[in-house]
A and B are shown apart, each in its own frame.
Chain A
Amino acid sequence: GQQLNQSPQSMFIQEGEDVSMNCTSSSIFNTWLWYKQDPGEGPVLLIALYKAGELTSNGRLTAQFGITRKDSFLNISASIPSDVGIYFCAGQPQGAQKLVFGQGTRLTINP
């Protein structure tokens, strides 16, 4: 089946540093989404990308839909303590409404 490879699995950074994570797949996706999940909560949608090459920002977050439609990255600039959590990429396959999720990136920030 379709799989998303998300990396890195975990990150330990200092407050104020920039963060970058990405997802790749052997399959083409029509839509890429990035979610953040805090402990005990459901995933919260951060950014949605709909077209190959699209670059979208949401505050300190920037994400891009890869030109091949098989990858996406998420950058967080000037990290703050509330950025701590697990970040998931998700892709929507062609012709489907369901999502395929990456394995997640656990972000830890040292103050």
Chain B
Amino acid sequence: SAVISQKPSRDICQRGTSLTIQCQVDSQVTMMFWYRQQPGQSLTLIATANQGSEATYESGFVIDKFPISRPNLTFSTLTVSNMSPEDSSIYLCSATGPPRNEQFFGPGTRLTVL
């Protein structure tokens, strides 16, 4: 299985600022995804990170708020822009790869917005 790391592991940010979260996979993967997990809730898909092209966003999420990059097969970033306290969540990166395209998750980034 792929090993996924995320940076930072946690951060406390001020309202109106932006934070970029990095996701690195230790092997080549097919797909990369970004999820949000609000306190005590399940995981909600934000977008699919596409290599070399614009991410595919789920309903309710927009590029201006959550710009995503994926410059190569093993690295992606998610930016949470113009943050408000409602953005306080855990943000999780995941990836699928050979042989069976099972989806594995990083440890998450715990974001608190004051």
Contacts and interface: CB of A to CB of B under 8 A. Distances in A.
B14 to A, nearest CB: 23
A43 to B, nearest CB: 5
Nearest to A35: B105
B46 to A, nearest CB: 10
Interface in B46-67: 48, 58-59
Contacts of B4: 42
- Categorize the interface residue count of chain A: 20 to 34
A40 interface: yes
25 contacts: A33-B102, A35-B105, A40-B107, A41-B107, A41-B108, A42-B4, A42-B92, A42-B105, A42-B106, A43-B43, A43-B105, A45-B1, A45-B102, A45-B103, A48-B100, A90-B103, A97-B30, A97-B31, A97-B48, A97-B96, A97-B101, A98-B48, A98-B58, A100-B45, A102-B42
